A and B are shown apart, each in its own frame.
Chain A
Amino acid sequence: MTAFVLVNISLFAILGATALAITRMRALYEATMLTALFSLVTGSLFVLLDAVDVAFTEAAVGVGISTVLLLGVLSLTRSREAVTPRRRRLPAALVVLFTGGTLGYAAQDLPPFGSATTPVRDHPVTETYLYQSQQDMGIPNTVTSVLASYRGLDTLGELVVVFTAGVTVLLLLGPLTRRNRPVKRDLVLADYRVLRVVSGVLMPFILLFALYVLFHGDYGAGGGFQAGVIFASGFVLYGLVFGLDRVQQVLPQRVLWVLIPLGLLLFMGLGVATVLLGGSFLDYDTLRPDDPAAGQRLGILLVETAIGLTVATVMTSVFFSFTGRGASR
Chain B
Amino acid sequence: MKILVCISHVPDTTSKINFTDGDSKFDTNGVNFVINPNDEFGLTRAMWFKEKQGASVDVVNVGGAETEPTLRKALAIGADNAIRVDTPATDGFQVAKQLAKVAKEGEYDLIIAGRESIDYNGGMVPGMLAALLDANFINTCISLEIEGDKATAIREIDGGKETLTASLPLVIGGQKGLVEESDLKIPNMRGIMQARKKPLNVVAAEEVSTRTEAAKFEKPAPKGAVKLVDPENLDELIDLLHNEAKAI
- Verify that A and B bind, or say they do not: no
